[in-house]
């Protein structure tokens, strides 16, 4: 899923607003941990660096609306998680907010330790640290009931929590959601420091699910007033090192007395200041350095101007995607290139093929498409390696075992990812859609095959590469380019029977491969808003129910593989299981052409003296940055 819009009403406004893309859910991870301090032009910065305390870290952003008003219970964007987890919302378990595999490992945050589950992996008991407190205006100790309440919000349909499905295996969660119970029976709080979760089945990734911002403590006395979608965002009570500026003026006496905290207006700016109730001594494992005194995010509708201001030292960074021309200019200049920070963010951009629609109901056609696709060309259309690396498999390598086998795994290899026509034609010959066995798809469905694409930059630049690649094996697509929302709606509506789509991206929600596996779970299939675009695991009955076709040869099902991996506890065996699953997808199911592993690329202002990458969110680690106010304008 990607973040947001961009449909120009006119050429002029489109150009003025160029590259206003914003990244949504999905995080990152690679193992190329950079270190040391370098300085670029104008006193630029790099990873590591000097942690100077004080100053204001200023960020430009084209939209602060995010996905659900900044309400931690409902937000579903990596950029909001980045702010909340690094700065405002502590959870039972968190991350180290650093780059690479280390940044993807859960560590205790509010909890004293990561417990060992009991009851066959179904019971998890956490103890809260001493001296963890809410910020203004409550300034009181955080208790286990505050965490239990955040789960009640997750289950509450009115809050419209985007990822409540991760918690439906807690005993009584669904009953509470359905209004059949007043509490979630599977969550108990024997005392103010202890919270116990009882699950319906063992979940190896449960500790990862407890790192999500929605599971952070929310005080019921404030939260109860804002149990509608996105409404709590302007009243978030901090449990982290920073709080919304003006939080001390919030009057929590009653719902009527609470007015939006002045430091956050979703249409203009967000301003965070230090939370005096935060005790850094309780935050050793996650190592939030909390260097600046203040953070600001200011909406700027001119994305180009954001990067001009970073260039001029008026901003330290942006949450918008860096325009390709700006990235090129910096990367070509030795004095400036260190200020550009491309980091693999654990997202996969891919072409989805519908396993129930001809000619993609034939695995040989799907393999041939993987073999012939000019992935290198698609990457260049995006702007090159600043934006990603040629994709070779579905699940990001950082979520799999850190082995050479994973690093080198490429079942459809070709030099520079340019495609291997001979191998593709050989594969196509095995297909029933190549009637004369000349290596070209020549049956009816190969002509005019509907291909969905987006009409926003840079997707149109991909179109000729997609078309030419497919033509080489006899598939002549009819491309339909649509706005982002429309393109997604189309491929998510099963009855539309879209054969192939080049518009999606998927990123991890948390640092476990299960957040990719859900895309291939046949039990998740739905007639609309369906995210299993390839319809992996569909049965004849389900196809009839949701309006899909069903091919004579059937459709592969990987539900058992998913269950097998999900039941394993976090560790090497689980990682190996997911790698086997990834290989099965790539070689026996072949639902996608993963054309590149995406990168998050930040541009830093000259006043930034320290920077790190939060692998868990796939974004800048705000908890680690520092600025030198003397270099700010």
Partner 1 sequence: MGRYVIRRLLWTILVVVVVTFLSYVIFFLMPSGDPATRFAGRQPTPELIAEVRRQLNLDEPWPLQYVYYLKNLIFGDEYGWPGFGYSFNQSVPILPELIERSKVTLSLIAGGAILWLAMGIPVGVISAVKRRSITDRLTMGVALFFVSAPVFWLGLLSLYLFWNKLGWLPGTGYVSFGTSPKDWFLHLLQPWFVLALLFAAIYARLVRGNMVDTLSEDYIRTARAKGLSERRVIYRHALRSSLTPVISLLAVDLGVLVGGTIVTESVFNLQGLGQWVLVGTTDQDLPVTLAVTTLVAIVVSLMSLLGDIVYAYLDPRVRYK
Asked if residue 517 lies in contact with residue 564, where contact means CB atoms within 8 angstroms, the answer is no
Strands 626-627 and 613-614: unpaired
Cα–Cα distances in Å, from 219 out to 222, 223, 331, 424, 507?
6, 6, 46, 58, 30
Provide, rounded to whole angstroms, the least separation between the CB of residue 266 and partner 1: 5
Instruction: Give residues in contact with partner 1 (CB under 8 A).
Output: 1, 4-7, 9-10, 12-13, 15-17, 25, 63-65, 67-70, 74, 76, 157-158, 160-165, 228-231, 233-234, 265-268, 298-302, 304-305, 308-309, 312, 314, 482-483, 485-486, 488-489, 509, 518, 524, 526, 528-529, 531
Q: Which is nearer to partner 1, 482 or 589 (CB)?
A: 482
Provide, rounded to whole angstroms, the least separation between the CB of residue 194 and partner 1: 30
In Å, how far from its chain's centre is CA 253?
Answer: 37
Provide, rounded to whole angstroms, the least separation between the CB of residue 482 and partner 1: 8
Q: Which is nearer to partner 1, 15 or 280 (CB)?
A: 15
Q: Which is nearer to partner 1, 234 or 375 (CB)?
A: 234
Asked if residue 294 lies in contact with residue 272, where contact means CB atoms within 8 angstroms, the answer is yes
Instruction: Look at the block and give the residue holding tokens 């999500």.
Output: 212
> What one-character-per-residue DSSP string does 94-141 give?
E----SSHHHHS-EESSBSS-PPPBTTTTEEEEEBPTT-B--TTT--B
Asked if residue 219 lies in contact with residue 235, where contact means CB atoms within 8 angstroms, the answer is no
Q: Which is nearer to partner 1, 164 or 210 (CB)?
A: 164
Q: Which is nearer to partner 1, 384 or 483 (CB)?
A: 483
Provide, rounded to whole angstroms, the least separation between the CB of residue 583 and partner 1: 24
Q: Which is nearer to partner 1, 165 or 284 (CB)?
A: 165
Strands 476-482 and 294-299: unpaired
- The total number of residues shown for the chain amounts to 633
Establish whether the linkage from the previous residue to 529 is cis, with ω within 30° of 0.
no
Rounded-to-integer distance, Cα 103 and Cα 95, Å? 6
Provide, rounded to whole angstroms, the least separation between the CB of residue 174 and partner 1: 11
Which residues fall within 8 angstroms of residue 327, CB to CB, at 6 or more apart? 340, 383, 386, 601, 603
Q: Which is nearer to partner 1, 326 or 365 (CB)?
A: 326
Residue 481: both structure tokens together: 């380019």
Q: Which is nearer to partner 1, 177 or 368 (CB)?
A: 177
Asked if residue 620 lies in contact with residue 565, where contact means CB atoms within 8 angstroms, the answer is no
Asked if residue 619 lies in contact with residue 320, where contact means CB atoms within 8 angstroms, the answer is no
Provide, rounded to whole angstroms, the least separation between the CB of residue 204 and partner 1: 20
Q: Which is nearer to partner 1, 73 or 291 (CB)?
A: 73
Provide, rounded to whole angstroms, the least separation between the CB of residue 224 and partner 1: 17
Provide, rounded to whole angstroms, the least separation between the CB of residue 157 and partner 1: 5
Provide, rounded to whole angstroms, the least separation between the CB of residue 505 and partner 1: 11
Q: Which is nearer to partner 1, 156 or 243 (CB)?
A: 156
Provide, rounded to whole angstroms, the least separation between the CB of residue 197 and partner 1: 21
> What one-character-per-residue DSSP string does 169-206 give?
TBTTHHHHHTTS-SS-TTEEEEETTEEEEEBSS--TTH
Asked if residue 387 lies in contact with residue 378, where contact means CB atoms within 8 angstroms, the answer is no
């Amino acid at each position: 899923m990607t973040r947001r819009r961009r449909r120009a009403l006119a050429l002029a406004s489109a150009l003025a607003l160029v590259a206003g893309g914003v990244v949504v859910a999905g995080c990152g991870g690679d193992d190329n941990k950079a270190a040391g301090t370098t300085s670029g032009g104008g006193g630029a910065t790099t990873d590591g660096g000097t942690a100077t305390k004080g100053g204001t870290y200023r960020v430009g952003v084209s939209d602060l609306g995010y996905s659900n008003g900044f309400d931690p219970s409902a937000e579903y964007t990596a950029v909001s998680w980045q702010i909340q987890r690094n700065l405002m919302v502590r959870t039972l378990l968190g991350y180290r907010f650093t780059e690479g595999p280390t940044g993807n490992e859960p560590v205790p945050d509010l909890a004293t330790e990561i417990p060992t589950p009991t009851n066959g992996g179904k019971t998890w008991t956490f103890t809260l640290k001493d001296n963890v407190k809410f910020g203004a205006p409550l300034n009181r100790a955080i208790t286990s009931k505050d965490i239990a309440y955040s789960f009640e919000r997750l289950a509450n349909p009115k809050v419209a929590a985007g990822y409540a499905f991760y918690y439906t295996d807690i005993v009584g969660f669904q009953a509470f959601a359905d209004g059949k119970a007043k509490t979630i029976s599977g969550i108990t709080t024997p005392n103010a420091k202890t919270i116990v979760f009882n699950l319906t089945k063992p979940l190896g990734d449960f500790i990862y699910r407890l790192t999500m911002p929605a599971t952070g403590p929310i005080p019921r006395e404030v939260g109860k007033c804002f149990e509608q979608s996105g409404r709590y965002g302007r009243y978030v009570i901090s449990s982290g090192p920073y709080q919304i500026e003006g939080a001390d003026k919030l009057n929590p006496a009653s719902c009527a007395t609470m007015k939006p905290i002045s430091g956050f207006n979703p249409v203009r700016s967000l301003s965070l200041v230090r939370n005096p109730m935060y005790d850094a001594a309780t935050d050793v494992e996650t190592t939030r350095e909390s260097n600046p005194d203040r953070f600001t995010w200011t909406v700027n509708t001119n994305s180009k101007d954001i990067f001009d201001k970073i260039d001029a030292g008026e901003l330290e960074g942006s949450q918008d995607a860096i325009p390709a021309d700006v990235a090129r200019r910096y990367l070509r200049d030795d004095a400036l290139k260190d200020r550009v920070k491309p980091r693999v963010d654990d997202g996969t951009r891919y072409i989805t093929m519908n396993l129930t629609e001809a000619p993609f109901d034939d695995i040989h056609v799907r393999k041939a498409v993987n073999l012939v696709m000019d992935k290198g060309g698609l990457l260049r259309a995006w702007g090159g390696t600043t934006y990603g690396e040629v994709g070779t498999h579905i699940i990001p390598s950082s979520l799999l075992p850190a082995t050479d086998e994973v690093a080198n795994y490429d079942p459809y290899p070709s030099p520079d990812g340019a495609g291997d026509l001979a191998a593709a034609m050989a594969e196509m010959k095995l297909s029933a859609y190549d009637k004369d066995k000349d290596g070209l798809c020549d049956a009816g469905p190969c002509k005019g095959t509907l291909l969905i694409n987006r009409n926003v930059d840079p997707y149109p630049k991909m179109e000729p590469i997609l078309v030419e690649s497919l033509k080489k094996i006899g598939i002549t697509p009819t491309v339909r380019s649509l706005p982002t929302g429309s393109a997604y709606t189309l491929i998510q509506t099963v009855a539309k029977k879209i054969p192939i789509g080049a518009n999606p991206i998927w990123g991890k929600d948390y640092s476990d491969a299960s957040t990719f596996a859900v895309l291939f779970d046949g039990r998740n299939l739905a007639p609309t808003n369906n995210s299993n675009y390839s319809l992996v695991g569909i049965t004849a009955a389900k196809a009839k129910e949701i309006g899909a076709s069903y091919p004579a040869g059937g459709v592969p099902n990987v539900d058992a593989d998913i269950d097998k991996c999900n039941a394993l506890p976090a560790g090497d065996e689980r990682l190996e299981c997911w790698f086997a699953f990834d290989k099965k997808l790539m070689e026996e199911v072949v639902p996608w052409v993963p054309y590149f592993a995406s990168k998050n690329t930040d541009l830093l202002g000259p006043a930034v003296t320290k920077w790190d990458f939060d692998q868990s969110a796939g974004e800048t680690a705000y908890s680690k940055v520092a600025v030198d106010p003397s270099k700010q304008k």
